[in-house]
Amino acid sequence: MDLINLTKQFGKKNIPEINPGDTIKVSFKITEAGKTRLQVFEGICISTKHGKSLNGSFSLRKISGGVGVERTFPLHSPLVAKIEKIKSRKVRRAKLYFIRDLVGKKAKKAREQKDYKMWEEAISEEEIEKIDEEKKIAADKKKEIKAKEKEELDKKFDQAIATHKEKEKPEEDKKEKESK
């Protein structure tokens, strides 16, 4: 098979044009302890490699907690559920690695252009609904467990009060006998 047919068969369609300087929000699937969830990474695109081909990728950079964080995403990965282009900036470089050294307003010096585009995988909507249903089921189970625990605690509390009152009755009887 040639590369064009492979791209048509396995590649994602209608991907927005991603250029260095764009602010992009990527939703990707993370599996932890058997649960799948979507995590969002929003940052400035500092480089793109291999365009829209099957091995294409792009790198995003953001500041999180005062620390610069960079992440590279494969363009056609099945784990990438959504790519959303938030802002577009006019820059004069193909690779914006110099942004690593800049802080504050100097990093945002490039002129902004509004260019909102989004790519979303059709299957991801169903998966999002499935994940939400799993969360609701887990929340219902937790509520049931908490309700059972509360009932057990109430029973124990009532028993403790009853035994406490039984212990106080003989003491009251002794006091009454002594006072007579």
CATH of the domain at 65: 2.30.30.790
Residues 150 and 164 in one domain: yes
- Is pLDDT of 180 > 70? no
Model-level pTM? 0.57
Q: Are 164 and 114 members of one domain?
A: no
Q: Is the pLDDT of residue 112 over 60?
A: no
Counted domains in the chain: 2
- DSSP label at residue 13: S
